[in-house]
Structure 1
Amino acid sequence: MKKDLIEMNEKRKGKLILILAFAMVISVMNSTMFNIALPTITNEFHLQPSQAGWIVTGYIIVYAIGSVMFGKLADKYKLKNLLTVGLLIFAFGSLMGFLAPNFSFVLAGRIIQAMGASIMPATSMIIPTRYFTPEKRGRALGITSSATAFGTAVGPIVAGLVTNFISWRYLFVISLLILLTLPFFRVFLDNEEEKVKNKTDLIGAVLLAGTLALLLLAITQGSLLLAFIGIVFFVLFLWRIRVAQNPFIQGNLFENRTFSAGLLVSALSSGIGFGIPYLTPLLLQGVNGLSPMLSGLVMFPGAALAAILGRKGGKLADQKGNGFVAYTALLCFFLGYGILSIIAGSSPYIIMIVLIFAYVGQTFIQIALGNNVSRSLPKEQAGVGMGIYMMMNFIAGATATTLISKALEVKNASLQLNPFLLDHNSLNYSNIYVVLAILIVIVTLIYMSNFRKETIKSH
């Protein structure tokens, strides 16, 4: 009888992680699809590029803030109830965007979408952490990472088809598919007890939200004034942590060396990873002269293969340790960017093959670091800890995007970091890939110095 109960629970967990994977695919697609539609939206509403860019910038800012807020709330309230609230808010934003009579309503729809969708980053980490033992957690993270890779692969292609042949408005309708998961989440998530003993530190929450919003705006807008104000908010937030009886985030969370090191390595890895979805399409379109649709097709095989191999990466994390998966990821990253720094601007078919290394590296490092960080957190801090983990990734992505765009604006560059570059028309791109490859070496050294136990276990 007990064996049957265990098997039933395992089946329940298996179904739950597949539901989460489907939700992650739609969530990731929703985050990336509108990048493809920006030129069309800009023309339809007669906007400046900077105005249309708020569709992406506004979404990122609210999404980053919401991931921490929902993560904190998940430590106190039932996850199934938070998911219900989040997905219903998301649905309202999607409908607003679809029916929008002008750009202001489109932007409002995206902001409301982000408010609701920000429940997903926390959920994607909390479910593997709460429902799977450390020995099986890698497989669960492998499935969710595969879903993320698959959503990244198909998002631009779906967006291109829908925008070209129907209307960009239907991207909001596609996003509504995530509602199909809500009844299943309600059934398969445990009816855990709520732990509402203390009032939420609203002052701390506002200071943290202000810090994130101001710093992300400073990064995306290149404003030193906003950066300064953001730093002031951050100092006030640190002060609040010290004086509040029940602060929004416990200060001892960052005294956890494994957690803090995991945040650093994850942030650097996420920034490096943006060399794929942000830099590569610009290379393919600007130097190789491909259309957005063709550039998406060139990138698809690598992302699709990474999605397929994600489950294998999760199993390897359980069998051989996170260190084995992390070093495999970093090696693939290094090979991918190192070779791209040589062949940038060459045949798209060769670039398509080399991108496989970079995509696999991006997926595998998510599995290893998600496992490392989740194991370092006590149960009562798992929600907010994983929320902060995801938040750092968003900030790193926004920072990397800004720095890469600034590097591409350099005209008549004479410095050539890779002497083996084949096409000198892609000099800026090559130099950026070289810098990313050097950063991978630095990340490897940081990982080795902070996760020695994982290194030993992997052998």
Structure 2
Amino acid sequence: MSQTSLNAEQQHREKLILILAFALVISVMNSTMFNMAIPTITKEFNLQPSQAGWIVTGYIIVYAIGSVMYGKLADRYKLKNLISTGLIIFAVGSIIGFTAANFEMIVAGRVLQAIGASVMPATSMIIPARYFTLETRGRALGMTSAGMALGTALGPIVAGLVTSFISWHYLFIISLFALVTLPFFRKYLNDETPKENAKTDLIGAGLLAGTLALLLLAITGSSLLCAIVGALFLLLFVRRITSTKEPFVQATLFKNKNYTVAIIVSGLSSGIGFGIPYLTPLLLQGINGLSPILSGLIMFPSALLAAALGKKAGKIADIKGNNFLTYTALLSFFLGYSLLSFMAGLSPLIIMVVLIFACIGQTFIQIALANTVSRTLPAEQAGVGMGVFMMINFIAGATDTTLISKVLEIKHTTLHLNPFLQDQDSLNFSNIYAVLALFIIVVSLIYTSNFRKASKLKFHSKNIN
């Protein structure tokens, strides 16, 4: 291949990753915007926090299943056609949500949005894997993570403006900007030849979705019946993936110890990370009494800084390794949540500064663990393995959101995890942040015990060579 052709191919890949990053900005905004609107919707429809939480939780459950489903469908259909279908469904859900007159219609619109939007996390893993070499994949993942972080940064600001000055209904209209990327995806994606014999296990997907929904309903509604039926669905799902030739989730994946440990660490980290976009708006509006727009302004600088550093983090992962980036992220994570646990309820300006640590940790850990997980997989399992990786992250997020919303319903508690708490009115929030900080320590120990030794062996091997 000539140098001219190589340069053209490189430019082609760079344009594609920029389009993907923009699409991810809209996709992530669609999630974080509604976090800001939940307090307003809760008051408007007279909901409990655990009920309103389903605006986020329902979205995440479908998003999680869809991220794997689209990953599998990408082996059977052209990626550009899948993206087209997903974005159209996303648009239909946005229109339904915009016209919603009751809480049920809001949830229905969000679920349809999730069915369509879940094509994006699958695409964010497939494009770097198919179009970038192992040596440049960290930079590509850095760009996609920067897009996600920018979406996280812009979401609260946009949601605050729209909710304060117009109506939360218009958040659904903003999501329609994702359609702008459609013609560019169709232009720059190759016409891949799909595998004709690839199959999708819809029964397995349904059983997993049912398991998640029922178990989370058991938590929010304190329902023993939902817990029992959810456990039954889980048993049926396990039986399905161990007895079907082409299951929704390949049980053989988990025979790879490094992969299994990596997605456990990633799932825990992702669940911890959801404490930022979901819990913080509730703290700022419920305890500090800020409006949605002011809450967004407080959250904006930290998320914007994390977005700006996302590309640099990808380069760090390529140059210094995932371990260095992972430990940097975990330290930043821990500092952020530890400080929030005793500063909750204090001046919003203090919260704004502390959020910088938490947001940088969240962005860096996404890049580091995506790289770590991708390197534990053989080429033939990369697609499905990364799909499961994304799904586990979203499941962890849905679970964390549900648990947080349930804890926030506790009106009077004597549990005081952080003796240094300055504002007693924010005790529930302080306890949640303290628990998340403890989980970061657990994640660090698990990661160190399984990946530090491997890193040392690689470093020793390089020195010998």
TM-score between the two structures when normalised by the length of structure 1: 0.92
SS in 1 for 2:398: helix
Following superposition of structure 1 onto structure 2, how do residues 183-222 of structure 1 map, counting pairs within 5 Å? 183-222=183-222
Give, in angstroms, the shift of residue 350 of structure 1: 1.8
Does residue 425 of the first structure (1) align with residue 425 of the second (2)? yes
Alignment check: 8 A CA contact 1:76 1:195 kept: yes
Deviations 1:144-202 (A, max 9, x none): 11111111121122122123323333222211111111111112112211012154334
What one-letter code is carried by the residue in structure 2 that aligns with 1:448? T
Provide the C-alpha distance between the structure 2 equivalents of 1:42 and 1:423, rounded to a whole number of angstroms.
Answer: 24
- C-alpha separation between the residues in 1 aligned to 2:430 and 2:456? 32
Q: Structure 1: how far apart are the matches of 2:102 and 2:415?
A: 46
Q: Deviations over 1:204-228 (max 9, x none)?
A: 3332333233334334444332232
- The offset of 1:15, in angstroms, is 0.9
Task: Note closer, same or farther for the CA distance 1:93–1:431 as it changes in structure 2 (3 Å cut).
Answer: closer
Matches within 5 A, 1:86-235: 86-100=86-100, 104-235=104-235
Q: CA-atom RMSD, angstroms?
A: 2.4
Higher mean displacement: 279-288 or 150-159: 279-288
1:390 alignment counterpart: 390
Q: Which amino acid aligns with 1:262?
A: A
Deviation readout 1:47-95 (Å, 9 max, x if unpaired)? 6456655433332232222122112212332211111111111122222
Is the Cα–Cα contact under 8 Å of residues 157 and 296 in structure 2 kept in the other structure? yes
Tell me, in whole angstroms, the C-alpha distance in 2 between the residues paired with 1:269 and 1:200: 29
Distance 1:415 1:104 in 2: 35
Given that 1:91 and 1:113 are in contact with CA atoms closer than 8 Å, whether structure 2 keeps it comes out as: yes
In structure 2, the residue matched to 1:20 is: 20
Deviates more, 1:375-384 or 1:33-42: 33-42
Deviation of 1:21 after TM superposition, in Å, equals 0.6
In the alignment, is the contact (CA less than 8 A) between 2:287 and 2:426 conserved in 1? yes
Q: Provide the rounded CA distance (Å) in 2 between the counterparts of 1:40 and 1:336.
A: 27
Q: Structure 1 stretch 18-27 or stretch 74-83: which is displaced more? A: 74-83
Range that drifts further, 142-151 or 202-211: 202-211
In structure 1, the residue matched to 2:257 is 257
Q: How many residues align?
A: 458
Distance 1:378 1:184 in 2: 31
Where does structure 1 lack aligned partners over 5 or more consecutive residues?
A: none
Q: Which residue of 2 aligns with 1:312?
A: 312
Please list every run of 5 or more consecutive structure 2 residues that lacks an aligned counterpart in the other structure.
Answer: 461-465
Asked whether the equivalents of residues 219 and 406 of structure 2 are also in contact (C-alpha less than 8 Å), the reply is no
Query: Which stretch of the first structure deviates more once superposed, 343-352 or 8-17?
Result: 343-352
Residue 292 of structure 1 deviates from its aligned partner by 2.4
Q: Provide closer, same or farther for how the CA distance between residues 43 and 426 of structure 1 changes in structure 2, counting only shifts above 3 A.
A: closer
Higher mean displacement: 430-439 or 12-21: 430-439
Shift of 1:43: 6.3
- What is the letter of the counterpart of residue 151 of structure 1? G
Task: Identify if the C-alpha distance between structure 1 residues 291 and 130 changes in structure 2 by more than 3 Å, giving closer, same or farther.
Answer: same
Greater displacement, 149-158 / 92-101: 92-101
**2:354 maps to 1:348:** no
* 2:189 alignment partner AA: L
Greater CA drift, 82-91 or 222-231 = 222-231
Q: CA deviation at 1:399?
A: 1.9
Change (3 A) 1:335 1:195: same
TM-score calculated relative to the size of structure 2: 0.91
Q: 1:216 to 1:390 in 2, by over 3 A?
A: farther
Distance 1:275 1:103 in 2: 24
Q: 1:407 to 1:313 in 2, by over 3 A?
A: same
Contact 2:281/2:295 (<8 A) preserved: yes
Matched AA of 1:8: A
Supply the distance in 1 between the matched residues of 2:415 and 2:170 (Cα, whole angstroms).
45
Alignment pair present for 1:303 and 2:303: yes
Distance 1:409 1:205, change over 3 A: closer
CA distance in 1, matches of 2:231, 2:336: 36
Identity %: 68
| Corresponding position of 1:403 | 403
The alignment partner of 1:288 has SS state of: coil
Q: Per the alignment, do residues 93 and 72 of structure 1 end up closer, same or farther by CA in structure 2, a change over 3 Å counting?
A: same
3-state SS, counterpart of residue 168 of structure 2: coil
The answer to whether residue 374 in structure 2 is matched with residue 371 in structure 1 is no
Separation in structure 1 between the aligned mates of residue 208 and residue 412 of structure 2, nearest angstrom: 41
CA contact (8 A) 2:302 2:352 kept: yes
Q: Would the aligned equivalents of 1:38 and 1:52 in 2 still touch at CA under 8 Å?
A: yes
Q: What residue in structure 1 maps to residue 463 of structure 2?
A: none
Relative to structure 1, the CA distance from residue 198 to residue 332 in structure 2 (aligned partners, 3 Å threshold; closer, same or farther) is closer
Asked if structure 2 preserves the Cα contact closer than 8 Å seen for 1:149 and 1:307, the reply is: yes
Q: CA deviation at 1:282?
A: 2.5
8 Å Cα contact 1:75/1:381 also seen in 2? no
Whether the 8 Å contact between 1:219 and 1:398 is mirrored in structure 2 is no
1:443 corresponds to 2:450: no
Name 2:335's counterpart in structure 1: 335
- CA displacement, residues 293-352 of structure 1 (integer Å, 9 cap, x when unaligned): 212211111111000011110100000111111000001011111222232222222221
- Structure 1 counterpart of 2:381: 381
- Deviation larger for 74-83 or 139-148: 74-83
